[in-house]
A and B are shown apart, each in its own frame.
Chain A
């Protein structure tokens, strides 16, 4: 049973039609976007579904997820607020902007807010150097650019998301699972399959 194929037959046909018949593998990136739109991240099931559609191995599909930064292999905050701090932006105050934004939200770079709604990330150049500070927001709806920002305007956007979330009564899964801590530990340490306890015991023994 291929969930992706049964749910989006037309979209998938349209994607495959872009590439030569004997080059189906080329559709892997658009199909991954489709799967990510569906779940917020790429589930193991989606990897298998895509591998089956393209007749490649699941490892080959997973390698694409690992290589490209816009694909997510793990669940995280609903809105990924990604601030560019590369040189041209940094010359226009992007580092300070990011620091103040994090301080106001009470989280560090890579962490998710306690309501599970927002992740702050530091990213590479977004091709908007003349309108720094700027960030993009990656969410289920796609990607949007927010240029010439101030800490106030960024916080206003976060407030807007929060009131939308309250209005729709939609709480983010992270909140229900109480999973936030482990997600934030991953953010801090880099992705790892170690439990918090394992990690702490390694630290005690003098490991990383």
Chain B
């Protein structure tokens, strides 16, 4: 493995201390943007880098920033640290190991859209992490990297943490904004999108932790440097969270475009217990099921290639499934998750996940009839394209793709 650009704590011990971070060019990029660049120039650099959102959707980050409505003020930046997708555990490692690079990314994004307040929304389970981030933010303020009139300019910025309280749906950006506002975490009808109508009704940029952590080095080293990693359309490094039936689970920072085979067998050490690989879930519980053929294993993990396998890269949370796992059991697990986490706002998702849970309970315990599988497909298809956010869509991905691609597991 080459140089780390995100998980730098693995190479630079103590980089989670302000002093050590500064010795490694920490906050040089933030200083550079404030003292030498116009806000729009910063956005242009990020656009030129080709950085795409690492939370799952892969939307171009610079473009998102450029959409911020300049007719309405104030602006806000919100870092999405709600990391709750089963199989995803990358943002937690960034914030524990390399927190200042992430916070510097938040600060640069805030300057680019001229926000004077930014929020880091952490899932409630990250309580300890929120406490340490509060400490780091106070240190940054003492050192003059946050607060009023930064670096002798007129620009002021404060960053605050906001702790969720156990709701997967709050990773959805509009539900997250509702949650900060003190309401139920339920998604909004879009459009308008957050860059026009976001937090407290003001233009807001919402970016994932990993996305923002890329930004300081893009500013410091330039977009061309960034584009040297990854592929043309999916540039940069990506943290792949590897879990499931694998010898060495963990986070692997690799260029986008690395193949499944390299990740699973070279880095992850293959599967334990002499089992063969049966399926791959590339986007956590929200994945379609990839049949682990030789061709699939040789497919590059980037935003363009994974769809050729009938799936999405999403947050790159690779769950490895071995040949001992039955798919009826597996979808029962994922459906339980989504039924629990459905926020209840849209009827197709609320009722549909409930009935999918009922049906998969029956099927997975051998009490189901053949018609139950057809009924399950019918229920799943009634959730499709009928909800305000993607949770309902995610809940059916594994269900429909498993029934279609692993028919033998549902034959009874």
Give the interface of A toward B (CB within 8 A).
18, 20, 23, 25-30, 32-33, 54, 56, 63-64, 67-71, 86-88, 90-92, 123-132, 136, 142-145
In the bound complex, residues from chain B placing their C-beta under 8 Å from that of A88 are 86-87, 243-244, 284, 319
B333 x A90 contact (CB < 8 A): yes
B243 x A86 contact (CB < 8 A): no
Chain B, range 141-162, C-beta contacts under 8 Å to A: 160, 162
CA distance A143 to B128 in the complex (A): 7
Tell me how far the C-beta of A85 lies from the nearest C-beta in chain B, rounded to whole angstroms.
8
Known contacts A125-B85, A126-B125, A127-B92; 5 additional CB pairs below 8 A are: A25-B181, A68-B124, A130-B89, A130-B241, A142-B128
Residue from the set A18, A29, A127, A136 with the largest chain B CB neighbour count within 10 Å: A127
A68 x B166 contact (CB < 8 A): yes
Stretch from B1-9, B64-72, B334-342 contacting the other chain: B334-342
Tell me how far the C-beta of A107 lies from the nearest C-beta in chain B, rounded to whole angstroms.
21
Does any Cβ of A come within 8 Å of B163's Cβ? yes
B333 x A87 contact (CB < 8 A): yes
CA distance A136 to B126 in the complex (A): 10
Q: Contacts A124-B84, A127-B84: A29 and B162 contacting too (C-beta < 8 A)?
A: yes
CA distance A26 to B285 in the complex (A): 30
Does any Cβ of A come within 8 Å of B127's Cβ? yes
Q: Contacts A91-B321, A127-B83, A129-B249: A68 and B89 contacting too (C-beta < 8 A)?
A: no
Tell me how far the C-beta of B287 lies from the nearest C-beta in chain A, rounded to whole angstroms.
10
In the bound complex, residues from chain A placing their C-beta under 8 Å from that of B325 are 91
Chain B 243-255, CB within 8 Å of chain A: the 1/0 string?
A: 1110001110000
B319 x A23 contact (CB < 8 A): no
A87 x B319 contact (CB < 8 A): yes
B165 x A68 contact (CB < 8 A): yes
Tell me how far the C-beta of B177 lies from the nearest C-beta in chain A, rounded to whole angstroms.
10
B167 x A69 contact (CB < 8 A): yes
A129 x B86 contact (CB < 8 A): yes
B251 x A29 contact (CB < 8 A): no
In the bound complex, residues from chain B placing their C-beta under 8 Å from that of A126 are 125
A142 x B127 contact (CB < 8 A): yes
Q: Contacts A124-B84, A130-B243: A143 and B182 contacting too (C-beta < 8 A)?
A: no
Number of A-B residue pairs at CB separation under 8 A: 139
CA distance A32 to B179 in the complex (A): 13
The 4 closest A-B pairs by CB, nearest first: A69-B166, A68-B165, A130-B249, A25-B182
Tell me how far the C-beta of B346 lies from the nearest C-beta in chain A, rounded to whole angstroms.
15
| 5 pairs from A and B in contact (CB 8 Å cutoff) | A67-B184, A68-B124, A68-B167, A69-B165, A127-B89
CA distance A142 to B91 in the complex (A): 21
B184 x A26 contact (CB < 8 A): no
With both beta carbons as reference points, the residue of chain A lying nearest to B334 in the complex is identified as: A87
B251 x A130 contact (CB < 8 A): yes
With both beta carbons as reference points, the residue of chain B lying nearest to A28 in the complex is identified as: B182
CA distance A128 to B308 in the complex (A): 29
A129 x B89 contact (CB < 8 A): yes
In the bound complex, residues from chain B placing their C-beta under 8 Å from that of A127 are 83-84, 88-89, 91-92, 123, 125-126
In the bound complex, residues from chain B placing their C-beta under 8 Å from that of A54 are 182
A27 x B182 contact (CB < 8 A): yes
In the bound complex, residues from chain B placing their C-beta under 8 Å from that of A87 are 86-87, 244, 281, 285, 319, 330, 333-334, 337
With both beta carbons as reference points, the residue of chain B lying nearest to A85 in the complex is identified as: B333
Tell me how far the C-beta of B374 lies from the nearest C-beta in chain A, rounded to whole angstroms.
24
CA distance A130 to B284 in the complex (A): 13
CA distance A33 to B127 in the complex (A): 10
CA distance A103 to B228 in the complex (A): 54
B184 x A91 contact (CB < 8 A): no
CA distance A123 to B337 in the complex (A): 9
Does any Cβ of A come within 8 Å of B168's Cβ? yes
In the bound complex, residues from chain B placing their C-beta under 8 Å from that of A128 are 89, 92
With both beta carbons as reference points, the residue of chain A lying nearest to B245 in the complex is identified as: A91
B167 x A67 contact (CB < 8 A): yes
B321 x A68 contact (CB < 8 A): no
In the bound complex, residues from chain A placing their C-beta under 8 Å from that of B59 are none
B128 x A145 contact (CB < 8 A): yes
Q: Contacts A26-B181, A54-B182: A86 and B333 contacting too (C-beta < 8 A)?
A: yes
Q: Contacts A67-B167, A143-B128: A18 and B182 contacting too (C-beta < 8 A)?
A: no
A26 partner, pick from B180, B249, B340, beta carbons under 8 A: B180
With both beta carbons as reference points, the residue of chain A lying nearest to B343 in the complex is identified as: A67
CA distance A37 to B172 in the complex (A): 28
Q: Contacts A68-B124, A69-B165, A144-B128: A129 and B181 contacting too (C-beta < 8 A)?
A: no
A63 x B165 contact (CB < 8 A): no
Q: Contacts A70-B124, A86-B285, A127-B123: A33 and B184 contacting too (C-beta < 8 A)?
A: no
In the bound complex, residues from chain A placing their C-beta under 8 Å from that of B244 are 87-88, 91-92, 129
Does any Cβ of A come within 8 Å of B200's Cβ? yes
In the bound complex, residues from chain B placing their C-beta under 8 Å from that of A92 are 243-244, 249
In the bound complex, residues from chain A placing their C-beta under 8 Å from that of B85 are 125
In the bound complex, residues from chain A placing their C-beta under 8 Å from that of B124 are 68, 70, 143
In the bound complex, residues from chain B placing their C-beta under 8 Å from that of A91 are 243-245, 319, 321, 325
Does any Cβ of A come within 8 Å of B97's Cβ? no
With both beta carbons as reference points, the residue of chain A lying nearest to B344 in the complex is identified as: A67
With both beta carbons as reference points, the residue of chain B lying nearest to A84 in the complex is identified as: B86
